[in-house]
Amino acid sequence: MEELGLRRPQAALLDLARTALQEDVGRGDVTSLLTIAEETQARARFVAREALVVSGLKVARAVFFEAGGEEKLSFAALTSEGVRVPVGAVLAEIEGLARPILAAERVSLNLLMHLSGIATLTNRYVEAVDGTGVRIVDTRKTTPGLRLAEKAAVRVGGSMNHRFGLDDGILIKDNHLALIGDVAEAVRRVRTKAPHLLKIEVEVESLEALKAALLAGVDAVLLDNMSPEEVHRCVELVRKERPGTLVEVSGGIDLWNIRSYAEAGPDLISVGALTHSASSVDISLEVEPC
């Protein structure tokens, strides 16, 4: 559960909940307001309709907190972030006034289904490289507005996070090099001016580029769009020439080929699909009077 806390200040959770509720509720939940009496109480349960790895409980809780306003809704998590649950598992139970529960239903489901989808998919990637010692990391290919939540779901699924944004790590990519021309010069510029707690990584697409990067003294290299064999040759070079340098692999990696890449021996494999192509998992909210 602790995992969830990583880089997710509570204020950000509530802001996300508020924005999402505004978007869905608009000027009011007409149906519920007209059909359900103000004082009606209800109990609701999130039920997994397929096997899944749970993520998003704190966000869902924030949605009910926001929706409930002064009339607090109780929210009891019945499992924890990162737990793999079977079909039919009850993830959490909410009790309180029916109207705010119904107003929060769709928004909380959208978040839980999306984030658990990411954790579930991530988990499959993690299992695919089990035993190789390679770490799976995410990318910045996240849904605008949901980066912190999605990156938390990735951790919950067992992976690590790459940069959170353009400001907490230096990664010189192909587009930079297309404009600068020279790795050595790029690294030099960065080294003299960047805050000293940020490492420097360079994207390379060939063995020659790798050699130049190592010569420039980078902290990490990103091998992009290579075959497992090419990765293997690059890893050997790095281990020999500049041992401490981290090796990350990315590009065209999926559940079917990731193990070959992992066995090529890099430190990290980054997978955009964890966040940009995870399907929602199926969860429902069952409401009953109480």
**Closest approach of its own copies to the CB of residue 240, in Å:** 18
Question: Buried b vs exposed e over 104-117: b needs ≥16 C-beta within 10 Å?
Answer: bbbbbbbbbbbbbb
Length, in residues, of the chain: 290
- Shortest spacing between CB 9 and its own copies, in angstroms: 6
Orientation angle between helical segments 98-128 and 10-25, nearest 10 degrees: 120
Q: Is there binding between residue 131 and its own copies (CB under 8 A)?
A: no
Indicate if 203 belongs to the active site. Answer: yes
Supply the minimum distance, in Å, between the C-beta of residue 136 and its own copies. Answer: 12
Q: Please state, in angstroms and rounded to a whole number, the distance separating the CA atoms of residues 269 and 257.
A: 12
**From the list 79, 80, 132, 280, which residue makes contact with its own copies (rule: CB under 8 A)?**
280
Site for its own copies contains 124 (CB under 8 A):
no
Q: Which is nearer to its own copies, 161 or 260 (CB)?
A: 161
- Distances in Å between the alpha carbon of 104 and those of 30, 94, 164, 209? 14, 11, 28, 52
The answer to whether residue 18 forms part of the interface with its own copies (CB under 8 A) is yes
Q: Using the rule CB under 8 A, is 90 a contact of its own copies?
A: no
| Gap between the Cα atoms of 89 and 196, Å rounded | 48
Is 199 designated active site? no
The residue from 127, 194, 212, 249 that contacts its own copies (CB under 8 A) is: 194
Query: Of these, 147, 156, 223, 265, which contacts its own copies (CB under 8 A)?
Result: 147
- Please report whether residue 83 would count as binding its own copies according to CB under 8 A: no
- Which listed residue (43, 140, 141, 242) is catalytic? 141
List strands edge to edge, sheet with 220-224: 135-137, 268-270, 246-250, 220-224, 200-204, 170-172
Query: Does residue 167 have an active-site annotation?
Result: no
Give the footprint of its own copies on residues 211-270 (CB under 8 A).
219-220, 246, 248, 267-268
Residue 290 beta carbon to its own copies: minimum distance, rounded to whole angstroms = 10
Kindly state the number of chain residues that form the binding site for its own copies, as judged by CB under 8 A.
108
| Near its own copies by CB under 8 A: residue from 86, 167, 208, 256 | 167
Let me know if 3 is a catalytic residue.
Answer: no
Among 6, 51, 87, 255, binds its own copies (CB under 8 A): 6
Q: Note if 173 is an active site residue.
A: yes
Burial of 153 (0-12, 13-18, 19+ CB in 10 A): buried
Between CA 144 and CA 200 the distance in angstroms is 25
Query: Which residue in 173, 188, 189, 199 is the catalytic one?
Result: 173
Pairing of strands 268-270, 246-250: parallel
111 neighbors 149 (Cβ within 8 angstroms): yes
Quick check: 99 binds its own copies (CB under 8 A)?
yes
Cα–Cα distance, 115 to 278 (Å, whole number): 9
Q: Is residue 164 a contact residue for its own copies (CB under 8 A)?
A: yes
Torsion of CA 55, 58, 59, 60, to 10 degrees: 90
Active site residues: 106, 141, 173, 203, 224
